[in-house]
Chains A and B, each alone.
Chain A
Amino acid sequence: MTVVLTSAARQEAQPVISGVADCDIHPSVKSMADLHPWLSSKWIEHFKSYGSLRNQHYVTGAAYHKSQPNASRRDAYPPEGGPQASSLAFMKQQLLDSHGIALGILNPLVPSQGVRNLDHSAALCRAINHWQVECWTSKEARLRASIVVPYEDPEASAAEIRFWAGNASFVQVLMLSRTSFPTGNKRYWPIYDAAAEAGLPVGIHAFGNSGLPITSAGWPSYYMEDMVAHAQSSQAGLVSLVIEGVFERWPALKFVLIESGFSWAPSLIWRLDRNWRTLRSEVPHLKMSPGEYIRRNVWWTSQPIDEPENATHVSDIFDWLGWDRIMFSTDYPHWDFDDPARVLAFRTSAEKRQQFFRGNAHHVYGVAA
């Protein structure tokens, strides 16, 4: 009997290694009141009256309406109530236990970074960091946290990093991709300096809102365009980091591009290197080609994995960037979740799977295997 493999059937069963590392998990607050233990009454009252001022038009929610509530899986509501990923017990059951995840990196997207009132932003970030420790990492040994920083106030961000530096719960400094100035701009260098001093990677997660349109041609119409454009936005951020000389200034500082896609990276590196050769007199501070810096300083998380008709095309991208560069992530509880059992739709060696699912993350985040 001839069986025509559909793309779903084609992604059958490769043994997932044990002890998977998931480099992008989004814990949620049940409500902003969850943060009250770590907020002064001033900020609690402020929030009640004014909310948190963001660079966008609605008081709550995102600029583009998502495809489903909280952009999250409809099966991820905890049985005891509350939004998706707001229950540690249910996250353990639905994500960590079910998928064999032994290390999970928390990247909270609770509104805080990019809040226009910089003091409010800093207060919210501090509270979220306490909340990660008290409500998540101290209760579940498989989880590690990211230091959420008020990145539009780089000095306060540096102070936040120094406050938590040395706390083993935290393995990364978290920024969002859509800062108000290009990511490599010198105004953000105090953040990178503090991260380098603390020996922590800087994770840059797609999203955020700079207040500027997500395309150089203005605001698109659809959520789909916004979702696709995070790849373009992340590319522009990486261009800025390398060309401004961030990787030259901090050669050992690791950057992780989270949920930005990665298939675009080889073409971007070719384009950067080619134009750098022509225009390098403008950027004499760069001592190596952009591609050399990127291959030294940058890692990517895998979700959302691209799914070309010919799955081996994605395998080429892994080969071109290096199997030591891409780290598995689920993006739980969001709707475009990647399942470790199905994420690699092509055959590959046990050694490469080990790197992708586990080894790279332990190396980048300095967590013992």
Chain B
Amino acid sequence: MALIDDRQNEPAAQRIDCDIHPSVPNCAALFPHLDDHWREMSIVRGIDDLHSANYPDNTPLTVRPDWKPAHGRAATSAEAIAGQCLDPSGSTLAICNCLFGIQTLYSEDLAGAYAKALNDWVRTEFLDKDARLRASIIVSLDSVEMAVEEIHRCAADRRFVQVLLLVATAQPLGKRHFWPIYEAAVRYDLPIGIHAGSEFRNPPTPMGWPSYYLEDYVVNAQSFQSQLTSLFCEGVFNKFPTLMVVMLESGWTWLPAHLWRMTKYWHGLRMEIPWADRSPAEVVKDQIRFSLQPIDGPGDVDQMRRLMDHIGTDDLLVYSSDYPHNQFAGADVFHETFTRDEIRKLTRDTPLATYPRLRSASS
């Protein structure tokens, strides 16, 4: 199944998939990239797997049924990604956002060692094996200093095109102690990607822990809304006017209502945040992008066009398949909703404008 209707695109067009998910089969796969101490600790202590409860293996959302292998996890090799995602969709570039749960480790040293191993594993097993693949640098936020070091270490390889964070963090992402990460990102031409999922440092809702995974997953959208508020209010975009933030698997149909509310309270309360001299909508237009999947939209095309009118610009979306997650229910609406120009923008122009390091690769 093509991810985007080929009739909508000229044959030679570039198609950039901004959110795909290679899976780590288990910790042993990373052992070649861990130093002796942490490898030994992993074996002695039985640290077998850090698969995150954000995407349990067998929920119908985690892997599209036709992409589920008979044994083990989907998307554990460059061959699987090529065969199931890149080749059928004709993607010429794709950004690997690995969601192995290293952000949840409480020990800074253990998290740092596994982040490093994970980035090296992605480089060896994916970037070195398929020239179409790019990747995000995975960091743990428990030590900002170590996160900055890891960005510095990986950024030398320009196939790393982004820094990846999870949306539900220990503290709101606008807080100043995270700013060295944004400083490093700007310095190395790396957008900050924020992906659905939790570090499990706070409950998913302000009322605590829900009973169902369905709730856990749905409320990711509210987490993104709050992070947008935090980044805006704290002045991250004023301090770093060239920083790009990409919200990944965030949904985006919530954006107009959220901007209306933020703008209303910005009008009433901006005395509290005098540095916020651009409106929330201007900041989003200049510095925030959203991955296409999931499209939490209406089933009705006219309503969808009205919603696009509420958003007011077609420059905010970057194409994503979210492979191998099961996110394609809205694809038909997508085909009918977006014009040829819009599809060209979101599959090529906007990703290239958003990710400086993709521009060098594509020339």
The chain A residues found within 8 Å of chain B, CB to CB, are 67, 177-185, 210, 212-225, 227-229, 231-233, 235-237, 239-240, 243-244, 261, 263-264, 266-268, 270-272, 274-279, 281-283, 304, 306-308, 310, 313-314, 316-317, 320, 335-336
In the complex, 23 of the A-B residue pairs with CB atoms within 8 angstroms, ordered by the A residue number, are A67-B268, A67-B271, A67-B272, A180-B208, A212-B202, A215-B223, A215-B227, A217-B227, A218-B171, A219-B172, A220-B233, A221-B230, A223-B272, A233-B207, A264-B254, A267-B253, A267-B296, A271-B218, A275-B61, A281-B60, A306-B261, A307-B264, A336-B268
Interface check B206, CB cutoff 8 A:
yes
Determine whether the beta carbon of B269 is less than 8 Å from that of A232: no
Show the binding face of B for A, using Cβ within 8 Å: 59-61, 167-175, 198, 201-215, 217-219, 221-223, 225-227, 229-230, 233-234, 251, 253-254, 256-258, 260-266, 268-273, 294, 296-298, 303, 306, 309-310, 326, 329-330
Q: How far is the CA of A244 from the CA of B210 in the complex (A)?
A: 9
Contact among B254, B262, B306, B329 for A278, CB-based, below 8 A? B329
Is A271 a contact partner of B296 (Cβ separation < 8 A)?
Answer: yes
Given known contacts A67-B272, A220-B233, A228 and B172 CB-to-CB distance under 8 angstroms:
no
Q: Decide yes or no: A261 and B261 within 8 Å by CB, A223-B269, A239-B215 being known contacts.
A: yes
A87 to chain B, nearest CB (A): 25
Question: What 6 additional pairs, Cβ within 8 angstroms, besides A237-B205, A263-B261?
Answer: A236-B207, A263-B256, A267-B221, A270-B298, A313-B309, A313-B310
Nearest B residue (CB) for A7? B267
| Assembled-state Cα–Cα distance A221/B169 (Å) | 15
Q: A215 to B225, alpha carbons, bound, how many Å?
A: 9
CA distance A183 to B269 in the complex (A): 29
Min Cβ gap A183→B in Å is 6
Task: Tell me the smallest distance from the CB of A287 to a CB of chain B, in Å.
Answer: 15
- On whether the beta carbons of A185 and B211 are closer than 8 Å, the reply is yes
A276 and B223 contacting across the interface, CB-CB below 8 Å: no
- Chain B residues with Cβ below 8 Å from A218 are 169-172, 201-202
With A67-B272, A217-B173, A263-B260: A232-B222 Cβ-Cβ less than 8 Å: yes
**Cβ-defined contact, B230 with A217, below 8 A:** yes
Point out the residue from B207, B256, B264, B330 that lies within 8 Å of A237, measured CB to CB: B207
* Contacting residues, chain A, for B261 (C-beta < 8 A): 228, 231, 261, 263-264, 304, 306
Q: In the bound complex, what is the Cα–Cα distance between A278 and B55 (angstroms)?
A: 14
B222 CB to nearest A CB, Å: 4
Q: Evaluate contact between B303 and A214: CB separation under 8 angstroms.
A: no
Nearest first, the 5 closest Cβ-Cβ pairs linking A and B are A263-B257, A271-B296, A236-B205, A306-B260, A215-B226
Is A232's CB under 8 angstroms from B251's CB?
A: no
B223 touches A216 (CB 8 A): yes
Shortest CB distance B347–A (Å): 22
Chain A residues with Cβ under 8 A from B170's Cβ? 217-218
Q: Give the contacting residue for B225; candidates A182, A223, A231, A310; CB below 8 A.
A: A231
> Which residues in B have their C-beta under 8 angstroms from that of A239?
205, 210, 215, 218-219
Check A216–B219 contact: CB distance below 8 A. Answer: yes
Chain B residue at minimum C-beta to C-beta distance from A67 = B269
CB–CB A264/B204 < 8 A: no
Q: Check if B260 sits within 8 Å of A181, measured CB to CB.
A: no
8 Å CB contact of B226 from A229, A279, A308: A229
Q: Are B272 and A279 in contact (CB under 8 A)?
A: no
Q: Which residue of A has the minimal Cβ distance to B264?
A: A307
Closest CB-CB distance, B238 to chain A, in whole Å? 14
CA distance A178 to B203 in the complex (A): 13
Contact B225 A232 (CB under 8 A): yes
The answer to whether A224 and B173 have CB atoms under 8 Å apart is: no
B260/A220 in contact, CB under 8 A: no
Compute how far the CA of A221 lies from the CA of B326 in the bound complex, rounded to whole angstroms: 36
- Give Cα A275 to B215, complex, Å: 9
Neighbouring A residues of B198 by C-beta, 8 Å: 216
- B234 contacts A216, C-beta separation under 8 Å: no
